[in-house]
Amino acid sequence: MNYATDGLLVALGLLPSLVWMFFFYRQDCHPEPKYLITKTFLMGIIISPIAVLLQWGFSRIGNWGPIDYFVADGSLFFLWAAFVEEFVKYYAVRIIALTDPAFDEPIDAMIYMMMAGLGFAAIENILYLFTAIHNGLQTTLIIWGLRSVGSTLLHALSSGLVGYFLALSWFFQHHRKKLLIIGLMVATLFHFTFNLFLAAADNQLRGLLLSVGLLCVMAFLVFLLFDKIKRRSPGAIPRLTTATEKEISIT
């Protein structure tokens, strides 16, 4: 490969996330500062190695390896991998956005969580494309097309679910930590199920159809919740203070 090819693969890996980012950004009735959106997106990329390390460490327990994804015990790895990725994306938002003055209404939680999810998806896409290019251009483009609609949207939607429960903490402040835990659990379950459908189905077509069906359900649910929170966001709602943010964080 040469620099031109490398640049093209990076651009292709970023493109789906940028398209979805623009789409979700337009849904916000009070658009967030572009600098903070960009920082959150980039933090989703920067923080991704933590997820890789945690997944790799778990895969070594009990001498499990990548091939074990497809056997019975491999489902436990899928569950761990899904949780780690959802938590890491939340942590990216916690680092960048939660204490920023621009984070001033509940709907912002869903917006920033989706941006972090899309950043995470972008680096995943780039890595997959660099691996796939050795199998030819056609294979690479097929993988790019599937991930553009599938995994990229999955990361945005699952992060959006976490963002919804984070947004609820504005209204139920005594249950902030519980709501965040529930959000992570719900997002992990959807993420886990999506991966399991792809890996454990009887055949590829069935797995693809099940995964697409799940994405449709997730999309409907997230947009329903997004609209619900958006209608409750306008008004004099206090932003999360530093102390509040610390109370809802999980370390």
Per-10-residue mean pLDDT for the chain, 251 residues long? 84 95 87 94 96 86 49 72 96 94 91 97 95 89 90 96 94 88 96 88 76 94 92 56 44 42
Return the percent helix, strand and coil in the chain, to nearest 5: 80, 0, 20
Contact in structure between 179 and 147 (CB atoms under 8 Å): no
Residue 194, pLDDT score: 94
Contact in structure between 177 and 250 (CB atoms under 8 Å): yes
Residue 63, pLDDT score: 53
Q: How far apart are the first and last CA of the chain?
A: 41
Residue 93, pLDDT score: 96
Residue 200, pLDDT score: 66
Neighbours of 68 (CB within 10 A): 16
Residue 180, pLDDT score: 95
